[in-house]
């Protein structure tokens, strides 16, 4: 019998290495190893089985995440970044990927049913990890996005579903005249306020408990910023959100959408096509959307001079103006 190509088998089995790393992160073994530890010491610190822990650590050496000398395991440059307390809080953010693993394991059933199955409200720890990951993705990118948008004529910004506050903070830091309202759910705003206070812009970045599905977003804004929100919603919900954003803008204002934007036939870029499935397993009707879809929704909501801005990285920006 002809054997399948090794490369194809490797690809199908790729989950094993991913699962190994996620379990190491979940159990926090890299922190437990510290400056060097035996398997028994790690097992005792992580409250795990000694034999199984040794198997896990040996496999981590095999994939290059740890080194081992005379029965003692040591962190590497790569694993040191995953220790609790390492700069950038990568471990907290990556716990979100460990949570996503559970959702992705239901992909087959989600494809059968056409929607996410078994979704429940996030626990506090899950929300912390989710927002830490959003912050991880946004922190370095936000000033570049704000620069690409440009703040000429912008005083009042509404950041819809603003998450960790990374973008709201970047808007405020880019211009002393800008004031931002960050609208999000209450458990997330608790985290956003921490970041806003730490950044020293609490006088100009206000948090507002709200729901994207509420009747009105207010009025008189120069800019409505919608980052990584459209993919959570179905097309009809997106159209509604854009109509309400149009109403919230003063004439001469604009909406800026940031998201993973698909090519018209929806098979590229790779990240956006895979992210559509991330939304299938996590939401009722979300997906990645194409540039023609964004253009059509923006036009339908009344926006004009619709353009796409390119900023390095996986997400793109769509801009629409409410002309004076």
Give yes or no for residue 129 binding ligand SAM (CB under 6 A): no
Nearer to ligand SAM, 94 or 228 (CB): 228
Helix (H, G, I), strand (E, B) or coil at 29: helix
**DSSP labels, 99-138:** HHHHHHTTHHHHHHHTS--S--PPPHHHHHHHHHHHHHHH
Structure tokens at 287: 């997906």
Give yes or no for residue 207 binding ligand SAM (CB under 6 A): no
Give yes or no for residue 213 binding ligand SAM (CB under 6 A): yes
Q: Which residues contact 162 (CB under 8 A, 6 or more apart)?
A: 168, 180, 182, 183, 184, 192, 225, 227
Q: Which residues contact 214 (CB under 8 A, 6 or more apart)?
A: none
Among 154, 162, 244, 316, binds ligand SAM (CB under 6 A): 162
Q: Which residues of 213-248 are buried (b: 16+ CB within 10 A; e: fewer)?
A: eeeebbeebbbbbbbbbbbbbeeebbbebbebbbbb
What is the per-residue binding string for ligand SAM in 176-205, x denoting contact by CB under 6 A? --------xx--x-----------------
Pairing of strands 261-262, 289-290: parallel
- Closest chain position to ligand SAM (CB): 163
Among 39, 228, 280, 298, binds ligand SAM (CB under 6 A): 228
CB of 97 to ligand SAM, least distance (A): 14
CB of 280 to ligand SAM, least distance (A): 15
Nearer to ligand SAM, 31 or 282 (CB): 282
Scanning 6-14, 19-27, 57-65, 206-214 for contacts with ligand SAM by CB under 6 A, the matching segment is 206-214
- Interface residues with ligand SAM (CB under 6 A) are 134, 138, 161-163, 166-167, 184-185, 188, 210-213, 227-229, 232
């Amino acid at each position: 019998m002809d054997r399948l190509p090794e490369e194809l088998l490797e690809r199908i089995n790729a989950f094993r290495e991913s699962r190994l790393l996620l379990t190491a992160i979940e159990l926090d073994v890299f922190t437990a190893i510290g400056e060097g530890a035996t398997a028994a010491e790690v097992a005792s610190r992580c409250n795990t089985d000694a034999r199984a822990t040794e198997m896990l650590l040996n496999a981590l050496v095999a994939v290059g995440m740890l080194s081992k000398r005379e029965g003692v395991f040591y962190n590497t440059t790569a694993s040191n970044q995953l220790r609790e307390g390492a700069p950038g809080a990568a471990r907290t953010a990556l716990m979100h990927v460990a949570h996503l693993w559970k959702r992705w394991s239901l992909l087959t059933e989600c494809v059968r049913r056409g929607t996410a199955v078994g979704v429940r409200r996030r626990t506090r720890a899950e929300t912390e990890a989710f927002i830490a990951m959003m912050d991880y993705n946004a922190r370095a990118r936000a000033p570049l996005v704000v620069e690409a948008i440009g703040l000429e004529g912008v005083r009042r910004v509404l950041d819809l579903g603003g998450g960790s506050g990374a973008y709201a903070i970047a808007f405020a830091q880019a211009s002393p005249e800008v004031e931002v309202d960050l609208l999000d759910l209450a458990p997330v705003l608790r985290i956003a306020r921490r970041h806003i206070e730490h950044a020293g812009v609490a006088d100009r970045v206000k948090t507002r408990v709200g729901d994207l599905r509420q009747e009105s977003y207010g009025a008189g804004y120069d800019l409505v910023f919608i980052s990584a929100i459209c993919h959570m919603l179905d097309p009809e919900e997106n159209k509604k959100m854009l109509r309400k954003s149009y109403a919230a803008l003063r004439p001469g204002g604009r909406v800026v959408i940031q998201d993973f934007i698909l090519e018209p036939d929806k098979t590229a870029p790779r990240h956006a096509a895979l992210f559509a499935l991330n939304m299938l397993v996590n939401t009722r009707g979300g997906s990645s959307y194409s540039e023609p879809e964004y253009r059509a929704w923006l036009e339908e909501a009344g926006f004009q001079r619709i353009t796409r801005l390119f900023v390095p990285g996986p997400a793109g920006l769509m801009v629409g103006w409410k002309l004076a």
